[in-house]
Structure 1
Amino acid sequence: MKKLMMGIVLVLLIGVAGSPAAAATDLTKGHGFYEEISYLMEQEILNGYPDGTVRPDAIVTRGEAAIMIGHMEDLDGTQRDTPFSDVKKGQKASGFIAEAQEAGYINGYPDGTFRPDAPITRGDMAIILAQVFPTPFSVTADFTDVSPNMKAYEAISEILSVNITIGYSDHTFQPTAHVTRGQFSAFLARGLEPEFKNDARIPHSYMKDKTKTYTYNTGTHGIETHTYQYTKSPADEPIGFSWARHVPAINETYIYGEVETRKNLIHAYPVVDRFDPPLLAYPIKVGTTHSIYPSAEGQPLTPSDVTHTITAVGVTVETPYRTFTNAVEVTVEFGYKEYFVEGFAKVKTVNDNGTVFELIDVE
């Protein structure tokens, strides 16, 4: 397994002694989050219990989440008084709860309580994850059970945009559902490791593999490479994981996010807080059409709408990298045709003058 990329030391299990076991008696390879839990245990992020179990289906409490945040942010866990009426100095998590609250990572309830023993919900976990991990992009969360008036709406949108979640197959996020240790491990592993971000994709996803480097030949600037990496700003502020598009001809690198919802595939950009019109609209079927839509500021990205229409599926497309036989053809106004392939995103663009963009290597 790859080492942690941010030098963060995390401990999920709170107040329970035990070494990070190489194999837990209740964790089988058939468990849905076996790889994520094993990764966190190998990194000494997640510990097992004294009886040799890891309890992947046990619920994570709010107090455990607060201590986890404390370890992540190197907070002082010394027990002390807190602003919450139900968290006294003698409570095991009191120091972490107090500091995490002061830092803005967690909040209590309007009645002045924190409820440390209450199960944490997926909505509250999204808020924590959005605070802990850099989230340079944000797209509209299109889950049927998530609306803009929800407290967790922005956080859910942010962790969707950085491939920490994709929600459920019925287009829900289930923000009030409780979070198990296995589910939490999946969220955490995706925040830390690109390999696991690949799991936050819809079936038959068109997003690129985040563990590989893609090389393209473009008409304007020649060769360019796209690599998924942890990025910082010129001021050394963390931007987070994103695709770095390096253009040697002009010695420039551009940062973008490749975001997938159950409705479309999108490119998003940090700092400027904007995103392109969908690269590809779902469902994949001939006749599906999309066009440019307004930016976050309510202004169009270009003076006029440009219609993109899926005009063929199962198309054979030749590129220097390889010949694809399952491409989706998207016809764009003004004479362009773009070709997308599952797991590769766009592999080729042509116009009346010939090829203007194509994939030449993946490694």
Structure 2
Amino acid sequence: MKKLSVVAVVLLVFGLAAPVQGASDLPESHGFYEEMDYLLDRGVLQGYPDGTVRPDEEVTRGEAAIMIGRLKEFDGTQRATEFSDVSANQAASGYIAAAAEAGLIQGHTDGTYRPYESITRGDMAIILERLFIVPFRADVSFTDVSQNMRAYEPIQMIVAANITNGYTNNTFRPHQAVTRSQFSAFLARGLEPEFKNDATIENSYLRDKTKTHIYDTPYGVEHHTYNYVPTRNTLEVGYVWTITEEGNPDFLVDTVEIETREYYSFGQAYSESYTDLKYPIEIGKTWYEDTRYAPPRKITATGVTVETPYRTFTDAVEVTVESRPADMDNGFTYYMVEGFGEVKQVEADGTVSRELIRVE
């Protein structure tokens, strides 16, 4: 995606605006430059009177409400709020009131909002889950997130939506304060597929969300396109991989890819999904051993060379699905590649039942 230029950035510090020329402290080398640039261009993120955006400063709860309000185009006119510590004469009061009325933010049990406190990663997860349509969740076991936490379910959901993936030591750090650049990155990932590509684990098998992946199957040629679907059949959907079939206008399926540091799964929105890989990748690793609803799957080889019409892959993971007397099929093998997910599936008799033919 073409970078959006940062010019004539409008100032707003809790409602006090003044023009500035560029952001002097946001170099292109900053890890979240593009995300902040994107939000600056949209007017969601704004700067300070001295021409800075202070990417590494912590975001206050009031500033978070302002950014959410600008994103949702709420009326930010100052007014009374439901919170005892946010009066009508406070510059952020209009956005805080509007965001609370929309159910996007909440105060504390003592009736305060505490607008000058830094927002935490746990509170951020709660807000983002409300802000964006995320009708599915990941089963991820962060060592510092317990099921009795208010943020537990929202964290699972924003991981599934590729808004965040936690830290490499399997922590989420729900009580850690969020910086302006981090908050910008999370918002940008909720809005743009390109930025979702950055919220992946190391050596991810998730596909590039900015491209269409095309597969040949016995039933026709399928196009998998990542797109935003507000609703489908009255159900909220959000960002999903929509599958269409060449020459068949009636075929349309919304699917989801979910990846944590424990597994990769693929399935239909509001329906079943299957774990295609278990991490870490190890030959002999088997799953679905204790269920009658899915045949066992086993990693049978790594570093496999697989030829497809699209290209020859040289580092595929081979997964064999066992046949069982109660199953309708005779088993099959599929091949997973980093950055492409499943690239080929072969039935037990050697028939190719699915393969990647183009990426556009």
Q: TM-score, normalised by structure 1?
A: 0.89
Residues 93-102 or 179-188, more deviating: 93-102
Structure 2 residue matching 1:278: 3-state secondary structure: strand
- Judged with a 3 Å threshold, the aligned counterparts in structure 2 of structure 1 residues 280 and 91 are, in CA distance, closer, same or farther, namely same
Pairwise CA distance, 1:38: 1.8
Pairwise CA distance, 1:320: 0.7
Structure 1 residue matching 2:226: 3-state secondary structure: strand
Which residue is 1:269 aligned to? 268
Pairwise CA distance, 1:78: 2.5
Report how many residues are paired: 346
The alignment's C-alpha RMSD in Å is 2.3
Alpha-carbon contact 1:266-1:278 (below 8 Å) kept: yes
Structure 2 residue matching 1:146: 3-state secondary structure: coil
Which residue is 1:61 aligned to? 60
Structure 1 residue matching 2:135: 3-state secondary structure: coil
Distance, in Å, in 1 between the alignment partners of 2:208 and 2:217 is 20
Alpha-carbon contact 2:267-2:274 (below 8 Å) kept: no
Pairwise CA distance, 1:106: 0.8
Structure 1 residue matching 2:157: 3-state secondary structure: helix
The Cα offsets for residues 138-165 of structure 1, whole Å up to 9 and x where unpaired, read as: 1223212112211011111111111111
Distance, in Å, in 1 between the alignment partners of 2:2 and 2:234 is 23
Would you say 1:290 and 2:287 are equivalent positions?
Answer: yes
The Cα offsets for residues 36-81 of structure 1, whole Å up to 9 and x where unpaired, read as: 1122223333222222211100111111112222223333322222
The Cα offsets for residues 113-147 of structure 1, whole Å up to 9 and x where unpaired, read as: 11010000011111111111111221223212112
Which residue is 1:333 aligned to? 322
Code of the aligned partner of 1:138? R
The Cα offsets for residues 87-117 of structure 1, whole Å up to 9 and x where unpaired, read as: 1221112222222222211111111111010
Which residue is 2:226 aligned to? 228
Structure 1 residue matching 2:242: 3-state secondary structure: strand
Structure 2 residue matching 1:215: 3-state secondary structure: strand
Pairwise CA distance, 1:269: 3.2
- Judged with a 3 Å threshold, the aligned counterparts in structure 2 of structure 1 residues 69 and 12 are, in CA distance, closer, same or farther, namely farther
The Cα offsets for residues 169-204 of structure 1, whole Å up to 9 and x where unpaired, read as: 111111111010110111011011100100010111
Structure 2 residue matching 1:120: 3-state secondary structure: coil
Alpha-carbon contact 1:3-1:43 (below 8 Å) kept: no
Unpaired runs of at least 5, structure 1: 5-9, 294-299
Alpha-carbon contact 2:12-2:48 (below 8 Å) kept: no
- Judged with a 3 Å threshold, the aligned counterparts in structure 2 of structure 1 residues 139 and 215 are, in CA distance, closer, same or farther, namely same
What pairs with 1:139-154 in structure 2 (closer than 5 Å)?
139-154=138-153
- Judged with a 3 Å threshold, the aligned counterparts in structure 2 of structure 1 residues 21 and 11 are, in CA distance, closer, same or farther, namely closer
Distance, in Å, in 1 between the alignment partners of 2:81 and 2:41 is 34
Q: Tell me which stretches of 4 or more aligned residues in structure 1 moved more than 6 Å.
A: none
Code of the aligned partner of 2:337? V
Distance, in Å, in 1 between the alignment partners of 2:260 and 2:352 is 29
Which residue is 2:108 aligned to? 109
Which residue is 1:297 aligned to? none
- Judged with a 3 Å threshold, the aligned counterparts in structure 2 of structure 1 residues 41 and 73 are, in CA distance, closer, same or farther, namely closer
- Judged with a 3 Å threshold, the aligned counterparts in structure 2 of structure 1 residues 108 and 224 are, in CA distance, closer, same or farther, namely same
Q: TM-score, normalised by structure 2?
A: 0.89
Alpha-carbon contact 1:216-1:360 (below 8 Å) kept: yes
Which residue is 1:185 aligned to? 184
- Judged with a 3 Å threshold, the aligned counterparts in structure 2 of structure 1 residues 159 and 34 are, in CA distance, closer, same or farther, namely same
Code of the aligned partner of 1:164? I
The Cα offsets for residues 186-223 of structure 1, whole Å up to 9 and x where unpaired, read as: 1011011100100010111001000111110112x121
Which residue is 1:357 aligned to? 354
Distance, in Å, in 1 between the alignment partners of 2:12 and 2:309 is 46
- Judged with a 3 Å threshold, the aligned counterparts in structure 2 of structure 1 residues 304 and 79 are, in CA distance, closer, same or farther, namely closer
- Judged with a 3 Å threshold, the aligned counterparts in structure 2 of structure 1 residues 159 and 2 are, in CA distance, closer, same or farther, namely farther
Code of the aligned partner of 1:136? P
Alpha-carbon contact 1:11-1:45 (below 8 Å) kept: no
Residues 66-75 or 165-174, more deviating: 66-75
Which residue is 2:39 aligned to? 40
Structure 2 residue matching 1:48: 3-state secondary structure: coil
Distance, in Å, in 1 between the alignment partners of 2:352 and 2:265 is 22
